[in-house]
Chain A
Amino acid sequence: MTDTTNAGIGADPSLKARLAEFWFYFSENRGAVIGLWVFIGLVIVALLAPWLAPHGAAEQYRDAVLVPPAWMEGGNASYLLGTDPVGRDILSRLIHGTRYSLFIGTIVTTLALTGGIVIGVIAGYFRGWVDTLIMRLMDIILAFPSLLLALVLVAVLGPGLTNAMIAIALVLQPHFVRLTRAAVMAEKNRDYVVAAKVAGAGHLRLMFRTILPNCLAPLIVQGTLSFSNAILDAAALGFLGMGAQPPTPEWGTMLAEAREFIMRAWWVVTFPGIAILVTVLAINLVGDGLRDALDPKLKRS
């Protein structure tokens, strides 16, 4: 069979055509496009953090403690968003914090996604007692409130950013397992899979090359949700003193340090929270757009 016949019946449109179709549906959602731009902006800020930040993240100016934002009385133009209780520039810390949050989101989502896909494909492909065992295990993890389980896991492993990321990935993973398993079970008995099997494809090839690429749409949407959840949960653990430890400029940890000053210096509390909210909101907007663009049920044809 030649490429032209394929393109003719629309069975295998080229990657470019598929991307164009995706973008057509995605760009119909204005919020999603805005979210995407904000997210791209955040990635640029994270990459260029050392050059963008006016001061070092840990640099303390002892003569400039709790300076209010520049536009307020007593503000100083060299500390645009003010300084914290030990005289560190809040804007610089927020800019450096972007790196942490995006890093946390990326690592946690990668861990949860790969782990969840591998386990889910195995459960959905083999069924039987393997499936039962895996799904019962996932039910057990899902029986706990995610933040509580992550908190306890970090208490066991020891506080710190690495352990917090491992704990959050572990808690988010069952969602990927369930999605992958359901998708694999739906695809498993389709003709193209049977054909590949008859042609002599082995288990591994059938699982990961034949079936998996056709199950990706819901996983991508769930991946976006996990990205924002990971940032929120990591910030919450940081806030509870169990995530990144001071003086790391992680946004949740910054809030924990700022807590006792809420009645005296609103800016130390307000700005890190806005940073978390804007980041999570942007990612969730993109997630909504992805769901609309990738879910064929919602497509208007």
Chain B
Amino acid sequence: MLRFLLGRLAVLIPTFFGVSIIAFSFIRLLPGDPVALLSGERVMSPERHAEMMHRLGFDRPLVVQYFDYIGGVLTGDFGTSIVTKKPILDQFLALFPATLELSICAIIIAVVIGIPAGIIAATKRGSFFDQSVMGAALVGYSMPIFWWGLLLIMLFAGTLQWTPVSGRISMMYFFPPVTGFMLIDSLLSGQSGAFKSALSHLILPSIVLSTIPLAVIARQTRSAMLEVLGEDYVRTARAKGLSTFRVVGIHSLRNAMIPVITTIGLQVGVLMAGAILTETIFSWPGIGKWMVDSVSRRDYAVIQGGLLLIAAIIMVVNLVVDLLYGLINPRIRN
């Protein structure tokens, strides 16, 4: 297992440095003057320009600049935002819980609905239920989620007035963040109605963000189950006279879950891409909206730092999934 871990790290670490080189260099590929871009000052005298060049370190060789940057990154210094002048890591850490809360809710919805739907579809292959689930999954998989979000807002926030349109909680409530998760914080605050408000804000964005993972997980569960149900050992279990529940729920499910777990792990990237659109539509103050806002404000320091942080998180999660996969499936380790 240790060798497996080291092998994965041997691939991961160079990839991380590659990612950092990309995040570092694209700001220097930009058309235009990087000093003007990074300082945010449009007009400046030649003296001021030279001073800024020096202060930002652009007068040094590229390699030196890169090692300076990566040295900062490794000690937690991702630079400061051009617009807000605040450290990028602080901003990221302040906004990340919002995205995490949304992503966790979305993946819970996707797993809780997707896996049972896939299992039942596989055991009743060809039935009306199977066809409906697979049809719905294909529609979900093909869904432009930004439009799906707008439709849900029109129906539930507009016509029915069941949920609010945007944000994380009603302006009526205020309490200091403890965990950063609005659902938990609103409970801890003890204010009546705060939890309900937080939940009603969370429900639509979670549904939108869960759409594609749900479709993918349902499809993957069904095909993994179908494969396992055709195996000899399942036939043996049936021949022994075990109940359908035991055959499907215990003998088959265990092995069918191996590829499904990998699929769930792969959804982290999908969730981050989905968060960009979902958070923009619902004005959800998380990482995705932060990145979109930074792109439109041309805050290149934030784009650079955010890109690197998001990629790092996805890589770490994928590593954890790989390790889990190695734990449950010993064949992979060698």
Contacts and interface: CB of A to CB of B under 8 A. Distances in A.
A136 B14 contact: yes
A152 B310 contact: no
A127 to B, nearest CB: 17
Interface string A134-159: 00110110011111110111011010
Contact of A269 (B29, B150, B291, B315): B150
A144 B144 contact: no
B273 A145 contact: yes
Contact of A277 (B139, B291, B314): B139
Contacts of B14: 136
Nearest to B30: A156
B277 A236 contact: yes
Interface in A264-301: 266, 269-270, 272-273, 276-277, 280-281, 284-285, 288
Interface residues of A, number: 43
A259 B281 CA distance: 9
A131 to B, nearest CB: 14
B122 interface: no
A140 B315 CA distance: 10
Interface string B133-168: 001001101111011101101100010000000000
B147 A277 contact: yes
Given A143-B311, A236-B277, A262 B142 contact: no
B151 A269 contact: yes
A232 interface: yes
A228 interface: yes
Contacts of A273: 144, 147-148, 150-151
B263 to A, nearest CB: 16
B139 A148 contact: no
Interface in A220-263: 228, 232, 235-236, 239-242, 252, 255, 259, 262-263
B150 A284 contact: no
B247 interface: no
8 closest A-B pairs by beta carbon, nearest first, are A273-B147, A147-B273, A140-B18, A145-B273, A280-B142, A145-B272, A281-B142, A155-B295
